[in-house]
Chain A
Amino acid sequence: MLLSLAIFLPIVCGGLLLAIGRDDQKHAVRWLALVAAVASFLVTLPLIHLFDTTTAAMQFVENQPWIERFNINYHLGVDGISMWFVPLTAFITVIVVISAWEVIETRVNQYMGAFLILSGLMVGVFSALDGMLFYVFFEATLIPMYIIIGVWGGANRVYAAFKFFLYTLAGSLLMLVALLYLYYQCNLVNGVGSFDIQTWHKLPLSGTVQTYLFFAFLAAFSVKVPMWPVHTWLPDAHVEAPTGGSVVLAAIMLKLGCYGFLRFSLPIAPDAAHQWSWLIIALSLIAVVYIGLVALVQKDMKKLVAYSSIAHMGFVTLGFFIFNELGVSGGLVQMIAHGFVSGAMFLCIGVLYDRVHSREIAAYGGVVNTMPKFAAFAVFFGMANCGLPATAGFVGEWLVILGTVQFNFWLGGVAATALVFGAAYTLWMIKRVYFGDIANDDVRALTDINSREFLMLALLAVATLYMGLYPKPFTDVMHESVTELLKHVALSKIPA
């Protein structure tokens, strides 16, 4: 019941807000949304406490027939790979609600409702064990995000919303055909069609079929991650989305794609994954190096952080496709850490934007003089973004680089350059925005963060620091499931 609660509590609350909220009761709507978000977060906490780290099996399983005609089940469960993303999603939603407090003035109930519904849907993606249920949640997340970008976004919001929607839909429709093909294969092999993901993991598949499936899944997940060269929707979406939209996009939505690789591509088509791993590794390294350079020349802060997200996601996919435990769990840790850090980076930009209404780096300078408390947070998150030890950003990158060196020394060397680029673009931006003399009257007129902004940044700072200093609770949860996954992927599924 816990997972169902984590999915449907925010969805129902969001639906209620849509139905009853009116624009003349903004204050009540905000408090209701906050209560709903916090309650939705609290119900995910027992998952962490009750999680059994000694097994790779699915936990908190719920299984009910849903659409009997196609043997589709309402089948939920989490293992070490997916568990952390459930509380992470709910946590980020709390932050988003706080961040929108005085900032969103129009259609507050729709804004809050959309984020709550989105939160529940994303939890659904992470906990679905039925392929079609996964697909339903995966696709349904597009609708609230489309509305969020389009209604509350910046000047070019319509273009960004369409690009986001159609890019992602194009990828996932190919995955739909792949899911249907797997159902048909189940029917051939087992005599009964099934959308059960764990059944698919055991399904023998010929090499050609695996290759087709692998690329169909790649189409869906590479767009979502996003990987070079299908990343171009992300900078547009990030720049135009309201702050909350950017935070959720970077912190959670990108992870849906990464998660898909571990849940579908690797275990369902292991032979194809090995065969084509060179391609993914190459694309990942291009993302890390080339996109890192692209980030360096950005003039818009949000674009810079968007490109930095793509580069960080390159690390994650790299870690997954070198097939060792350091790499895979490093990638997972990086996913969680990036959730905290990139979310915080976008919040910082939001704080500045709310005051000056510009995202241009050149519009700022010397912010530390007028906003010392805020600058401290911003510099801290900047450090975490370039992977400073003792922050969350460090752990994942370090594990992936270790794993890559184990796999191939020279590839490890290339991957490690990311640390240099990451430091370069992040620190250079920080220097130009925060340090130096006060650049103009706008900056002189800035007021430091209020207690609401302090609270949301402090929550994320604590999480970032905790994960950097003591990552063991995270890696412990992953260990068994990752080992099991790698054992499974090492075996061929091609029928003899």
Chain B
Amino acid sequence: MNDMNWLAIYPEILLLVMGCVVALADLWVTDEQRRPTYWLTQLTLVVVGGMHFAYFDAGVTTYAMQNMVVADPMGHLLAGFACLATLITLVYARPYAASRDMLKGELFILSLFSLLGINVMLSANNFLVGFLLYGLSMMYGATGSLTIPEVFDVISKGIPNKSVLVFGTVFVVAGLAFKLGAAPFHMWVPDVYQGAPTAVTLLIGGAPKLAAFAITVRLLVEGMIGLAVDWQQMLVVLSVMSLLIGNLAAIAQSNLKRMLAYSTIANMGFMLLGMTSGVVNDNTLSASNAYSAAMFYAVTYVLTTLGTFGMIILLSRQGHEAEEIKDLAGLAKRSPWFALVMAIFMFSLAGLPPTVGFYAKLAVLQALVSTGLPFYLWLAGFAVVVSLIGAFYYLRVVKVMFFDAPTDMAPLAAPGDVRFVMTLNGAAVLVFGLLPSGLLELCKVAIRQALAT
């Protein structure tokens, strides 16, 4: 187990190499649309994604780089989805960037390297991830190790210095909450989402959420399941605050990107709820149920978010950003098709059947109710009531698109590939809503194997 085991990290190596190749190749590209590097990047993503899905299919867990890295089915599945999400992001982002003079090779290179970062986070088996450093140093002080399994061993054997360890956990959880954008560590989310060019918002709001979820599972579940009682309480507080702040603040927004940022906060709160019911009465029987629900939530949330921000890109054109809610006015008359697709995204975020968002919420609520404890039942009731608040502002977007008269009759400027991928994206949200079984099973398999190791 102590060797480098290069095989397990082939996808990351390929990604690194291709990132460099694209960076170099781009120097010779003169095309305005940067077609050669664009297609090279997309090809890389397809191959890397394909490799991850193939590794997931093989279903083995390997350790590499002297145990610094774990390559398990959960990591591979999420990495595959992250590749897919980046691929979709680039399809949406290219024409947007091109019309704003932002289409440089850097967009592709940075996407590839950010994906590399995501992949490393997905498979990190070691605590040195930087942003959690302070908390982790306390963990190190208490347990004498930075390797997740070793920390796990120390915690499960009996705790040397519980108060330092719990204090460390607080910082770890806070670091994760920053990464996820959960309240009260959410302040950066609305500003960044609104302020960044939409293409960059997509890059931040899509695939990295998968990494944030994975690192949450790795640190809290694989590393500190023995402290579950402590961190579950913290997550309950985080998710309750996120659900409240996210949903209430979203109502007041007139900027669509800012509204979606608050919706992200609320959604991350809902996802974290799924993480709170894994260990009940010192019993981990419900763990795979709870964590796979959260994973399903994260994956479907990313799918829907790509669609919503992609739609902002699709509606924008040179000199027009289409990021105010009122810019959507009368979309049903301008383009009935994309109004329908956007409505599907909104209903999915609101958690209405038959869209995939409903099953995400259902899975999390089911995990809460299945504990049978009154506390979790109340938590489920609370989650349901705040989703009702959430439904209001998603419905308002549908209202603006369908009930209001258009103020802007300019035809949509988006090119064919964006329209095509957007249609597929909408169809996926609906089809996974009608037939969610396959994706639910995948998440369950992935989490089971992650827990088994």
- B251 interface residue per 8 A CB criterion: no
Picked from A69, A161, A169, A193, the residue with its CB within 8 Å of the CB of B440 is: A69
With A135-B353, A140-B354, A158-B399 in contact, is A70–B366 under 8 Å at CB?
yes
Total A-B Cβ pairs within 8 A? 99
Q: Are B354 and A173 interface neighbours, CB within 8 A?
A: no
- A146 interface residue per 8 A CB criterion: yes
The A contact surface, by secondary structure, is helix
- A174 interface residue per 8 A CB criterion: yes
Q: Are B403 and A161 interface neighbours, CB within 8 A?
A: yes
- A187 interface residue per 8 A CB criterion: yes
Bound: A313/B395 CA distance, A: 29
Q: Which A residues touch B362, using CB under 8 A?
A: 70, 132, 176, 180
Min C-beta distance of B63 to chain A, whole Å = 29
Q: Are A177 and B388 interface neighbours, CB within 8 A?
A: no
Q: Which A residues touch B377, using CB under 8 A?
A: 177, 181
Min C-beta distance of A171 to chain B, whole Å = 10
Residue of chain B at shortest CB distance from A185 = B372
Q: Are A69 and B340 interface neighbours, CB within 8 A?
A: no
Bound: A142/B398 CA distance, A: 13
Q: Are B436 and A180 interface neighbours, CB within 8 A?
A: no
Q: Are B391 and A169 interface neighbours, CB within 8 A?
A: yes
The B contact surface, by secondary structure, is helix
Total count of chain B residues near the partner, CB < 8 A: 37
Picked from A68, A110, A143, A174, the residue with its CB within 8 Å of the CB of B384 is: A174
Min C-beta distance of B406 to chain A, whole Å = 13
Q: Which B residues touch A181, using CB under 8 A?
A: 369, 377
B410-453 contacts to A, CB under 8 A, are 435-437, 440-441, 444
With A136-B353, A142-B352 in contact, is A66–B437 under 8 Å at CB?
yes
Q: Are B399 and A161 interface neighbours, CB within 8 A?
A: yes
Q: Are A170 and B388 interface neighbours, CB within 8 A?
A: yes
- A67 interface residue per 8 A CB criterion: yes
Residue of chain A at shortest CB distance from B370 = A184
Bound: A295/B370 CA distance, A: 46
Bound: A180/B358 CA distance, A: 13
Min C-beta distance of B264 to chain A, whole Å = 21
Residue of chain B at shortest CB distance from A69 = B440
- B385 interface residue per 8 A CB criterion: yes
With A67-B359, A67-B437, A67-B440 in contact, is A176–B365 under 8 Å at CB?
yes
Bound: A66/B434 CA distance, A: 9
Q: Are A147 and B402 interface neighbours, CB within 8 A?
A: yes
Q: Are A180 and B402 interface neighbours, CB within 8 A?
A: no
- A282 interface residue per 8 A CB criterion: no
Q: Are B402 and A151 interface neighbours, CB within 8 A?
A: yes
A123-177 contacts to B, CB under 8 A, are 132, 135-136, 139-140, 142-143, 146-147, 150-151, 157-158, 161-162, 165-166, 169-170, 173-174, 176-177
Bound: A463/B333 CA distance, A: 39
Picked from A66, A166, A174, A176, the residue with its CB within 8 Å of the CB of B391 is: A166
Q: Which B residues touch A110, using CB under 8 A?
A: 332, 336
Min C-beta distance of A49 to chain B, whole Å = 31
Bound: A107/B369 CA distance, A: 43
Q: Which B residues touch A183, using CB under 8 A?
A: 366, 369-370
A241-272 contacts to B, CB under 8 A, are none
Residue of chain A at shortest CB distance from B387 = A173
Q: Which B residues touch A135, using CB under 8 A?
A: 353
- B381 interface residue per 8 A CB criterion: yes
Q: Are B353 and A162 interface neighbours, CB within 8 A?
A: no
Q: Which B residues touch A187, using CB under 8 A?
A: 370
Bound: A157/B377 CA distance, A: 36
A49-65 contacts to B, CB under 8 A, are 65
Q: Are B369 and A68 interface neighbours, CB within 8 A?
A: no
Bound: A136/B333 CA distance, A: 29
Q: Which A residues touch B384, using CB under 8 A?
A: 173-174, 176-177
Q: Are A18 and B340 interface neighbours, CB within 8 A?
A: yes
A196-237 contacts to B, CB under 8 A, are none
- Binary A-proximity of B323-338 (CB < 8 A = 1, otherwise 0): 0000000001100100
Residue of chain A at shortest CB distance from B400 = A158
Q: Which A residues touch B385, using CB under 8 A?
A: 173
Q: Are B388 and A69 interface neighbours, CB within 8 A?
A: no
Bound: A65/B388 CA distance, A: 30
Bound: A439/B398 CA distance, A: 43
Bound: A169/B363 CA distance, A: 19
Min C-beta distance of B129 to chain A, whole Å = 32
- A188 interface residue per 8 A CB criterion: yes
A16-70 contacts to B, CB under 8 A, are 18, 65-70
Q: Are A158 and B381 interface neighbours, CB within 8 A?
A: no
Q: Can you pick out 5 interface pairs between chain A and chain B where the beta carbons lie within 8 Å of each other?
A: A65-B437, A107-B333, A110-B332, A181-B369, A188-B372
18 further A-B pairs in the complex, CB-CB below 8 A; given A139-B353, A146-B395 = A68-B437, A70-B362, A110-B332, A139-B358, A140-B352, A140-B353, A140-B354, A147-B402, A151-B402, A151-B403, A170-B388, A173-B385, A176-B365, A180-B365, A183-B366, A183-B370, A184-B372, A188-B372
Residues of A bordering B, CB below 8 Å: 18, 65-70, 107, 110, 132, 135-136, 139-140, 142-143, 146-147, 150-151, 157-158, 161-162, 165-166, 169-170, 173-174, 176-177, 180-181, 183-184, 187-188, 193
Question: Considering the complex of A and B, which 6 residue pairs feature the smallest CB-CB distances, nearest first?
Answer: A136-B353, A180-B369, A69-B440, A150-B403, A173-B384, A67-B437
